[in-house]
């Protein structure tokens, strides 16, 4: 394990459950369509093309840092990019989200997946990390990320976004050996990919297992936990904090923590006061409802204060939303939330 110098960024201090000067704040999907400067780039360039051009991806990563004054930047990429070198045909269809032309439906499909070397096959993303790292001030942390094994598998199997995860669960229940093979391969690749991001300058990593909340606790234990546990135990060797995030996980909070991660992401359905009690040994991240940013300012401010009150004046809280920023969010409201969180917590733990 690498022994790092004492971190100065409030995000890294809070991640280590140390007093941070103020509660650090960043937003999932902080780079994106609610920002006019992002839309201007997207008008001329597809999502995949932005990801393939490091200068452009770095610029888009830095846009919210400049505009909002957040305490962390998150690499601009997508959890589904690694599926392309694995042999899947990925495109982002307007209004439809991701579409995979040749989804995995059988054990034979899974056996055909190509092994990926992130340093070669995802070189553009790693170059983006290097560029952003060089451009950031020390007080702003750079977060790398990857999808969690269940969530990436679900897109690869469904061929896109899903409501019931029917094909995913059909394969999980019906071809258990192939399922475990798939998740083990995704987890092993993800260790390699995140290690390469850390080498390139990422100071923390987030694993987005966004959709694990669709599983019961016992199915999570049987079908996902061993793979996530292997993933996070390898990540510990990287010497950077790892955030473990999922949505609709009130029934899984302790189990996600058991799988790993120093910081657990909490969505808006679980009060942070409850999360604190259930996770006494972890930092927590969250959990304003993304829709609160659509409310009149006074209402949004009240909800923001409530999140801080529930987190308590205890080190180890990273302010965020419970899920990503919605595209129709007014930029000014986002900026005011950052200022309010900083103002209300200035000088506290």
Q: Which residues bind ligand CP3 (CB under 6 A)?
A: 28-33, 42, 47, 74, 76, 78-80, 92, 97-98, 145, 161, 208, 210, 324
Shortest Cβ 81–ligand CP3 spacing (Å): 9
Strands, DSSP E only, in the chain? Answer: 72-74, 90-93, 97-100, 141-147, 204-208, 242-245, 263-265, 283-288, 317-321
Shortest Cβ 312–ligand CP3 spacing (Å): 26
Which residue's CB is nearer to ligand CP3, number 79 or number 284?
79
> Which pairing describes strands 204-208 and 141-147: parallel, antiparallel, or unpaired?
parallel
Which residue's CB is nearer to ligand CP3, number 74 or number 113?
74
Distance CA 112, CA 118 (A): 18
- Can 66 be counted among the known catalytic residues? no
Indicate which residue of 18, 29, 53, 119 is catalytic: 29
Q: Which candidate, 89, 85, 31, places its Cα nearest to that of 56?
A: 31
Shortest Cβ 31–ligand CP3 spacing (Å): 4
Shortest Cβ 152–ligand CP3 spacing (Å): 9
Shortest Cβ 30–ligand CP3 spacing (Å): 5
CA angle 77/323/210 to nearest 5° reads 70
Which residue's CB is nearer to ligand CP3, number 45 or number 229?
45
Q: Which residues on neighbouring strands pair with residue 265, listed in sequence order? A: 285
- Can 236 be counted among the known catalytic residues? no
- Can 220 be counted among the known catalytic residues? no
Indicate which residue of 34, 71, 78, 276 is catalytic: 78
- Can 155 be counted among the known catalytic residues? yes
Which residue's CB is nearer to ligand CP3, number 168 or number 349?
168
* Residue nearest to ligand CP3 according to CB distances in the complex: 210
- Can 34 be counted among the known catalytic residues? no
Burial of 147 (0-12, 13-18, 19+ CB in 10 A): buried
Write the CB contacts of 264 (distance below 8 Å, at least 6 apart in sequence). 243, 244, 245, 253, 256, 257, 275, 279, 282, 283, 284, 285
Enumerate the active-site residues. 29, 33, 42, 78, 155
């Amino acid at each position: 394990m690498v022994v790092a110098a004492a971190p100065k960024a409030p995000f890294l201090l809070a991640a280590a459950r140390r007093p941070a000067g103020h509660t650090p704040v960043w937003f999932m999907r902080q780079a994106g369509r609610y920002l006019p400067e992002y839309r201007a780039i997207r008008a001329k360039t597809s999502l995949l093309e932005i990801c393939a051009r490091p200068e452009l991806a770095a610029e888009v990563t830095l846009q919210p840092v400049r505009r909002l004054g957040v305490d962390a930047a998150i690499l601009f990429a997508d959890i589904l990019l690694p599926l392309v070198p694995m042999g899947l045909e990925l495109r982002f269809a307007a209004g439809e989200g991701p579409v995979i032309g040749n989804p995995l439906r059988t054990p034979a499909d899974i056996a055909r997946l190509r092994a990926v070397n992130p340093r070669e096959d995802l070189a553009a993303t790693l170059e983006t990390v290097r560029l952003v790292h060089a451009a950031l001030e020390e007080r702003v942390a750079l977060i790398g990320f990857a999808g969690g094994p269940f969530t990436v598998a679900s897109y690869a199997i469904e061929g896109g976004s899903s409501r019931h995860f029917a094909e995913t669960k059909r394969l999980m229940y019906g071809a258990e050996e192939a399922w475990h093979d798939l998740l083990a391969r995704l987890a092993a690749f993800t260790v390699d990919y995140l290690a390469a991001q850390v080498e390139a300058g990422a100071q923390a990593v987030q694993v987005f297992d966004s959709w694990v909340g669709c599983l019961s606790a016992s199915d999570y234990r049987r079908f996902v936990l061993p793979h996530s546990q292997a993933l996070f135990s390898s990540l510990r060797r990287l010497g950077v904090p790892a955030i473990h995030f999922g949505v609709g996980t009130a029934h899984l909070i302790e189990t996600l923590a058991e799988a790993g991660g120093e910081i657990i992401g909490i969505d808006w359905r679980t009060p942070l006061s409850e999360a604190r009690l259930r996770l006494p040994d972890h930092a927590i991240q969250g959990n304003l409802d993304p829709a609160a940013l659509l409310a009149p300012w006074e209402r949004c401010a009240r909800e923001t204060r409530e999140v801080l009150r529930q987190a308590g004046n205890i080190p180890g809280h990273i302010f965020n939303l419970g899920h990503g920023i919605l595209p129709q969010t007014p930029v000014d409201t986002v900026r005011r939330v950052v200022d309010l969180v900083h103002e209300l917590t200035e000088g506290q733990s």
